[in-house]
Amino acid sequence: MAWPLLQLLLIAAPTAAGASSAMTPDGPAPWPEQFHAVLFTNLTNVSIASSGPPLRLHDLYYDWPRRRNLNLIQHQLSGDPLYDVEWNNGTTFYFDSATCRTEQFPVGVLRPGWLADGSAVYLGRETTGGFDCHVWGKAGFIVYYEDALTRRPVRWNFIDVTGIEQFVMSFEVGVVLEDDSQWQAPAHCFLDEAANKTNEDGDHVAVSNGVMDAARLFRKFAGAAAAY
């Protein structure tokens, strides 16, 4: 009779789903091609962050199809956000309302598989922020917590003197920042060479960070990962 078999399947299905979150996955999930995440950032090593406040809020707009990435960074109680706009040609514009730095990175925007492809090391299972997570590490550079149930990123820590820890407060797959004015570097990013130099000395952007910020660490990492 077919009936007991159907019953078996109905019983087996939820069990299998439950079991899969209990097992070690093959690797972390790749990033979706487009998402918006709000990240709470703590530069836990305050001594190195002394030139800037240790707590920040990041709006991360990851847009792989258009090969661009934007980090909108707000320091605690500061009304002047920092923009970190990264293009696939390696140019990154790092600016606020008054200052700008341009940096060139040999690799462009992080690939969706930057963590999932290749050499992520499984570090075990841990609860963080109340979420049961699979924990992954890569290249002695990052520790990455992924929700065992939904496979969304929950948190990551950079293995770096800054001790940057980022906590994923929201993760909206498919959300794109369409407003091109948000991506456009302002006029003060396009000063002449002499003005550039003067700009860099008293540079608010440089001073207020004083350290590699999380977005830069990611890029440094992408550069390192590309060499593997």
Ligand X SMILES: *[C@@H]1O[C@H](CO)[C@@H](O)[C@H](O)[C@H]1NC(C)=O
Which stretches of the chain bind ligand X, using CB under 6 A? 42, 44-45, 47-48, 55, 87, 89, 91, 100, 102, 161, 163, 189-193, 196
Report in angstroms how near the CB of residue 39 gets to ligand X at its nearest. 13
Nearest approach, Cβ of residue 2 and ligand X (Å)? 56
Dihedral of alpha carbons 111, 117, 123, 128, sign: positive
CB-count exposure of residue 93 (10 Å: 0-12, 13-18, 19+): buried
Query: Between residues 178 and 193, which has the closer beta carbon with respect to ligand X?
Result: 193
Minimum distance of ligand X from residue 1's CB (angstroms): 59
Q: How far is the CB of 201 from ligand X (least distance, A)?
A: 13
Q: Which is nearer to ligand X, 48 or 176 (CB)?
A: 48
**Closer CB to ligand X, residue 31 or residue 158?**
158
Give the largest Cα separation in the chain, rounded.
85
Q: Which residues contact 172 (CB under 8 A, 6 or more apart)?
A: 35, 36, 37
Nearer to ligand X, 101 or 138 (CB): 101
> 3-state DSSP helix/strand/coil percent for the chain, to nearest 5?
25, 35, 40
**What's the residue count for the chain?**
228
